[in-house]
Amino acid sequence: MRLVLVGPPGAGKGTQAQFIASHLSIPKISTGDIFRANVSGGTPLGKLAKEYMDRGDLVPDEVTVAMVRDRLSEDDAQEGFLLDGFPRNVPQAEVLKKMLAEFGTALDLVLELVVDDDEVVRRLAGRRTCRSCGKVWHVLFDPPAEPGVCDACGGELFQRDDDREETIRHRLEVYQEQTAPLVAFYADEGILVGVDATGPVEEVTQRAMAVLRRFAD
């Protein structure tokens, strides 16, 4: 099965991508993973990508497309895949469609994780990261025994810039601006399905798998 997973930051997309891909025995192909490899490797492409990601903006198409094409050409992606983080906009979706047509195939389904902005802010703005060991806590969902102190190592907890409400709202705006037309594109293609991404991770996975089973029947 050839799938694309879309959803706003904070919808648990990375986690869902992993679970769904493993249920279906297909590789999860995440632009996030490819970006991180480039960034930590300090490649020119990685440095460029990092400038955009640090601002909460999206990486330019030509950078992303080159990486995705290589990845989709690999052996393990020939029987199916789940794309996470690509395509992000209509031009990328057009490129992907053409790319897959060259490979003699096409997407089966696009799953959209649906969750409202305030829920995303509640999830992300509550995160606190330990300065010493890097462990992430949540003031509501996973609070340390003593506020501001890491249970694991006694280190000081702080809020990463990425987790500040204004950064999150900016990322959601960027997401909306770029993704709404993408979602409309796939709706026109007749392969878009929405999955309610509110609530516990396992429930969301079950909803997504129910949709995929319906499609497979």
Q: Residue 136 interacts with Zn ion (CB under 5 A)?
A: no
Q: Is 2 annotated as catalytic?
A: no
Query: Looking at beta carbons only, is 80 or 155 nearer to Zn ion?
Result: 155
Q: Residue 153 interacts with Zn ion (CB under 5 A)?
A: yes
Q: What are phi and psi of 21, to 5 degrees?
A: -60, -40
Query: Looking at beta carbons only, is 133 or 184 nearer to Zn ion?
Result: 133
Q: Is 47 annotated as catalytic?
A: no
- Of these residues, 2, 13, 71, 128, which one is catalytic? 13
In angstroms, give the least distance from the CB of 136 to Zn ion.
10
In angstroms, give the least distance from the CB of 199 to Zn ion.
28
Q: Smallest Cα–Cα separation from 48: which of 33, 61, 63? A: 63
Query: Looking at beta carbons only, is 152 or 216 nearer to Zn ion?
Result: 152
Q: x/- binding map, residues 155-184, to Zn ion, per CB under 5 A? A: x-----------------------------
Nearest 10 degrees: Cα torsion 178, 180, 184, 185: 10
- The residue from 132, 176, 198, 206 that contacts Zn ion (CB under 5 A) is 132
The stretch among 26-34, 67-75, 129-137, 165-173 that binds Zn ion (CB under 5 A) is 129-137
- The residue from 83, 124, 130, 172 that contacts Zn ion (CB under 5 A) is 130
| Omega within 30 of 0 (cis) for the link into 87 | yes
The stretch among 108-116, 133-141, 195-203, 206-214 that binds Zn ion (CB under 5 A) is 133-141
Which residues partner with 192 through β-bridges?
Answer: 110
Q: Residue 101 interacts with Zn ion (CB under 5 A)?
A: no
Residues noted as catalytic: 13, 88, 127, 160, 171
Residues that bind Zn ion (CB under 5 A): 130, 132-133, 135, 150, 152-153, 155
